[in-house]
A and B are shown apart, each in its own frame.
Chain A
């Protein structure tokens, strides 16, 4: 199960090389996303899209809020 993190922990992990993934629809990513994040909308999370991620590094996923 994924570890829940807050903003400070996110910044620490990113500073140590974590990958950031926004899972919102692509048009929302185009408007605004966290610095350095890549876009993999929820419905496109699959074996193919996961190839752009490095399984040896920490991975942080986020959407708009807690919903």
Chain B
């Protein structure tokens, strides 16, 4: 669509035409602000908790568990050096044998969601799929935060459905 619009504008005499090829999807998935009717509604990226503990695959489970619980968490996200999400530790994984490495203990390849998804849609999804939490990531897989079902359900109360489904 944008290439055709750009070509049309050039035919109309515009000489400095650029196409932002990755488009609005890329902009919103990066967590950048928008304007419009949906812009002030809560979304996955705004409600996700940014202070979730993170760890590396080579870390020792007992160390991560102590650190997470010490910070009041029963979950941690496994990331690489670029903060790309590799796995998730929920309560069941954190309760495993402490000498395991995170790579051995983690739930690999968790479902992730983009920051722009409306919170009502996220609440319905997490409830319907019986998920207590889910990582929110940018398009290139980098961690934005962990969205807790309880937070999503609370924020979604009284929040109207988005016109467009985004999951």
Query: How many A residues, CB 8 Å from partner?
Result: 45
B25 (CB) vs chain A CBs: closest residue: A65
Looking at the assembled complex, report how far the CB atom of B9 sits from the nearest CB atom of chain A, in whole angstroms: 6
Cβ of A15 under 8 Å from chain B:
no
Q: Would you call B1 and A67 a contact (CB within 8 A)? A: yes
Instruction: Give CA–CA (A33, B162) in the complex, Å.
Output: 15
Q: How far is the CB of B155 from chain A (nearest CB, A)?
A: 18
**Which residue of the partner chain, among B14, B26, B34, contacts A32 with CB atoms under 8 Å?**
B34
| A-facing residues in B1-38 (Cβ within 8 Å) | 1-10, 12-28, 30, 32-38
Contact A2 B8 (CB under 8 A): no
Which A residues are CB-close (under 8 A) to B12? 45-47, 50
Hey, which chain A residues are within 8 Å of B7, CB to CB? 1-2
Which of A37, A47, A65 has its CB near the most chain B CB atoms (within 10 A)?
A65
A43 to chain B, nearest CB (A): 10
Asked whether, in the complex, the Cβ of B38 is within 8 Å of the Cβ of A65, the reply is no
**Residues in B lying within 8 Å of A, measured CB to CB:** 1-10, 12-28, 30, 32-39, 116, 162-164
